[in-house]
Amino acid sequence: MVAATAHKIKFFGRRKGKKIRPARASLLDELLPKLAVKIPEDGGKITPPLLFPFTPKEVWLEVGFGGGEHLAEQARRNPKVGIIGAEVFINGVASLLAHLTDSHDDGAKGTPVISQDRTDNVRIYNDDVRLLFEALPDACLSRIFVLFPDPWPKKRHEGRRFIGPGNLPTLARLLKKGGELRVASDDMTYIRWSLQHLTASPFFAWTAKDSSDWNNPPADWVNTRYEQKAIKAGRKPIYLSFRKV
């Protein structure tokens, strides 16, 4: 994995997809700046609890939140937890903002109709999460989610897989002792790869007691559109939970 420095980091993947609908474009223009996490230009550290307008009991991070269904619902269920979502795909960021506000297009110049505002405990980093890692202090997170990441199935691309030797020491640094790293994928190559590196890591302990623990989602699981699509296509998601030791 490439070292996470601004001048060396190399990103693989899409940053933008289809044209964003006017209402969601308005959310990006008006709401995203209020929720955006900014990295100090002087190289200083971010204090995660200070990102929120209240003192959260815990701070969680979701790496690559996709369409945002999971993050938005976790935020709704856990109003006393501060959740940072990192996602480079701007269409996914727009989708998350729509979920957080239950907004839709009223047809008048793309002005979004907002029926809810559940943004107090959510903050967004719209760039490569490895840049954010450098600005976060040790032991600042209680939970990290890496859900259905790009599996990079070709062997020549395996170094691009997020769960691996390049990122695990950093994830361990950021997690508090006893904190949870939650990984899910419907790609068995990725699951085997993740297990290989996580079980070999001195920083993490697998919490599974039997096969039901990885074949069934956790009790507080939030279903996503991607997950349901995978199941419908006959792919079986696997759910992994590791504790920082």
* Cα 187 to Cα 8, 160, 169, 194, 239, distances in angstroms: 29, 15, 23, 11, 11
Crossing angle for the helix pair 22-30 and 90-101, to the nearest 10 degrees = 90
The residue range of the domain holding 209 is: 22-237
* Least-confidence region, from 71-80, 113-122, 144-153, 220-229: 113-122
Q: Please confirm, yes or no, whether 105 is among the known catalytic residues.
A: no
> What is the C-alpha separation between 140 and 127, in angstroms, rounded?
20
Query: Residue 2 falls within a domain, yes or no?
Result: no
Instruction: Return the SS3 of 6.
Output: coil
Q: What is the pLDDT of residues 184-236, one digit of tens each?
A: 999 999 999 999 999 999 999 999 999 999 999 999 999 988 899 999 999 99
Q: What is the pLDDT of residues 142-194, one digit of tens each?
A: 999 999 999 888 888 888 899 999 999 999 999 999 999 999 999 999 999 99
Q: Which CATH number do you get for residue 94?
A: 3.40.50.150
**What is the chain's mean pLDDT, rounded?**
90
Number of domains in the chain: 1
Query: Residue 43 falls within a domain, yes or no?
Result: yes
- Given this model, what pLDDT does residue 153 score? 84
The pTM (predicted TM-score) of the whole model is 0.89
Query: Residue 152 falls within a domain, yes or no?
Result: yes
* Neighbour count for residue 20 (Cβ, 10 Å): 18
Q: Is the pLDDT of residue 1 over 50?
A: no
Query: Residue 136 falls within a domain, yes or no?
Result: yes
- The one catalytic residue in 150, 186, 187, 220 is 150
